[in-house]
Structures are given as structure tokens and as C-alpha cells.
Amino acid sequence: MISLKQIHYALAVEQTLHFKKAAEHCAVSQSALSTALAEMEKQLGFQVFERDNKKVLVTPIGRQMLAMARQIKLQVDDLHRLVDQVNEPLSATLSLGMIPTVGPYLLPRLLPALAREYPSLQLNVVEEQSQDLVSLLRNGDLDTAILALPYDHQGLLALNFWAENFFLVTHVDDSLAQKPVVHASELQPSRLMLLKEGHCLKDHALAACRLTAETTHSLQATSLLTLVQMAAGRLGTTLVPEMALEQLVHTNPRLACIPLSEPGPHRELAFLVRPNYPGVDDIQLLIALLKRALENG
């Protein structure tokens, strides 16, 4: 009979396409992993992996088997989480994904509150872009993930908990710095600096201002901090979500932030979970805690 350990090993090889890396991921020796998978293939009666000294390939029938194996692993993981629900709320392990434009600004508010109210919780945080988090969540590699909406999350349940607007951030000597609000029509698209492709914040910022990516500044970055520093250096302007202003803007006397007049909210934050995830009650407790932390600043 195929074991859960063999399924775990096989999924690790599928993910890495490398036996040594898969063994390291599973914290076993390469020989132990290879032996277990060879025995699994013998029991199945077909080859799951083609391997030589240079690469590992998944066979067509192996892909079918691994798709079924992922569902088995997901159901077993959910069973373990169901058992955890018998214990105290938020007292086990929770894997939480966050996008880079949320994590640095939510975690300083969330972690102290969690340590105070749920000290037994072991929180594992993964920071990735939205598409990667959605994939990890669907595969059962994450319990939940915080994303900014709108974003395509078909097949997942969204538990909205926060809405916010964007602010224009520019040098204090910029002509727009003294305005109470800024209209999108007043922006100079050629000076507007945004994140690189793949960051949903870029799409949300463009949508809020009714702009296209082709009209914006050629300077792009992978973090809000870099964009803000470029704005402080008079290289252009940028758009920053409200929750990031305290850390990125208010401590820099060279910067001004002005609200956009475009109707909001410009983005909403939500916890995404699988529809059958058994720990939804824990996620609701987490949401309530996080909302209090955000409202209290």
C-alpha cells in the first residue's frame, strides 16, 4: 500500500524536479527518498518519474497520479487541522501568505497582538506575489493568504477585512504637494513610478487613476520603499496605500502625501481560504484581531 510518506516525497520531487533538493526539503537522505519512490512505483505498476544524471521528468501517467496525490495530501492536512479545532483556538500551526505590499505594514501590528492574545500559535509567514500565493493555497501548501482585491481567486473563498485608498507621494517642492487632493487628470503619467509587472498594486494603482502601463514612468521597482526613495530624490511621483504611509512617508520630511480624489476604496484586503478549509473559525478570529489592530493604529 502506498504511504503518505511516499506521497509527500513524490510531491516534493514534482515541485523541485530534483531528487537531492526534494530530499533536503523533506529532511531525509537522497537514498532514502529514492528507495521509497522506487518502491512506490513498483506498487503502482508504472513509472511516475523519468530521471537521469541531468534532469527529472514527470511521465504523463505520473502527472495524473500526482494530481490525485495532491488531493489526498490536502484532505489529510485538513483532517489534521480539524483535529486542531478541538484544542484552543489559534493554538496550533498556521501558514499565512502575504503579498509584499501588505506584509511589512500588517505584521508589525498583527504579531504583537497575536503574541499577547494567542501565545500558543505558531505562525509561519510566506511572502510571495499574488499568483504564487494563490497556487500555494490551492495546492494546500498554505492555510490562508492575504491578498489585495480585485484579483482573480476563482475557487477560493474571500473574507474581506479592510479597504483603503491610495495617496500620491512626491517631493515637498513638487507643485502638487500643496494641494488638498489630487485628481488623476493632474498627474503626469510620464513621471509616475510604479512597481514592476506581477505586483497587483501596480494594476490597482493604474485602475484607480484610469491609466495604462504604457503611459507611466520607465523607472520601475520591486518594493514600495524603493519607489518612495526615488520620489524623495525628485525622480518622479508614486502611489502608496494608506497603511504604508506611516512607515514610508511620514518619517521623511522631504516627502508629501496627497489623497487621490478618485472614488474609493482603491483596493480591499482579504483572507483567501479553500472553500472546505476546516479552520475558517480560526481565520475569523484572526480577522477580528487584525481589524482591531488596524483601527487602533
**Residues 103 and 250 reside in one and the same domain:** no
Residues 167 and 257 sit within 8 Å (Cβ to Cβ): yes
- Say whether both 219 and 279 belong to one domain: no
Residues 154, 142: one domain?
yes
Q: What are phi and psi of 214, to 5 degrees?
A: -70, -20
- What's the number of domains the chain is made of? 3
Secondary structure E strands in 90-196: 93-98, 122-127, 144-149, 157-164, 166-171, 192-195
d(CA 185, CA 164): 21
Give how far Cα 240 sits from Cα of 76, 122, 264, 266, 286, Å. Answer: 41, 31, 14, 11, 25
- Check whether residue 123 and residue 112 sit in a common domain: yes
Distances from the Cα of 45 to the Cα of 7, 33, 39, 42, 209, angstroms: 15, 18, 10, 5, 58
Please state whether the predicted TM-score (pTM) of the whole model is above 0.75.
no
Shared domain for 255 and 208, answered yes or no, is yes
CATH number at residue 291: 3.40.190.10
Of the candidates 63, 84, 105, which is a domain's last residue? 84
Residue 193's SS3 state is: strand
Pairwise CA distance, residues 144 & 133, whole Å: 9
Whether residue 79 sits in one domain with residue 120: no
- Do 184 and 150 share a structural domain? no
Of 49, 66, 84, the one marking the end of a domain is: 84
- Do 115 and 189 share a structural domain? no
Task: Indicate whether 46 and 66 sit together in one domain.
Answer: yes
CB-based burial label for 231 (10 Å; 0-12, 13-18, 19+): buried
* Residue 44 and residue 182 share a domain: no
Whether 76 and 154 share a structural domain: no
**Pairwise CA distance, residues 21 & 16, whole Å:** 6
Q: What is the CATH number of the domain that holds 41?
A: 1.10.10.10
Give yes or no: residues 44 and 108 share one domain.
Answer: no
Provide the domain limits for residue 217. 166-259
| Domain termination residue (choose one: 84, 108, 130) | 84
The tens place of each residue's pLDDT in the chain, 297 residues long, gives: 788 899 889 999 988 888 988 999 888 899 999 999 999 999 999 999 998 777 888 998 988 999 888 888 878 877 766 666 556 778 778 999 999 999 999 999 999 999 999 998 899 999 999 999 999 998 888 999 999 999 999 999 999 999 999 999 999 999 999 999 999 899 988 899 998 877 888 889 888 888 877 777 767 788 999 999 999 999 999 999 999 999 999 999 999 999 999 988 999 999 999 988 888 888 999 999 999 888 876
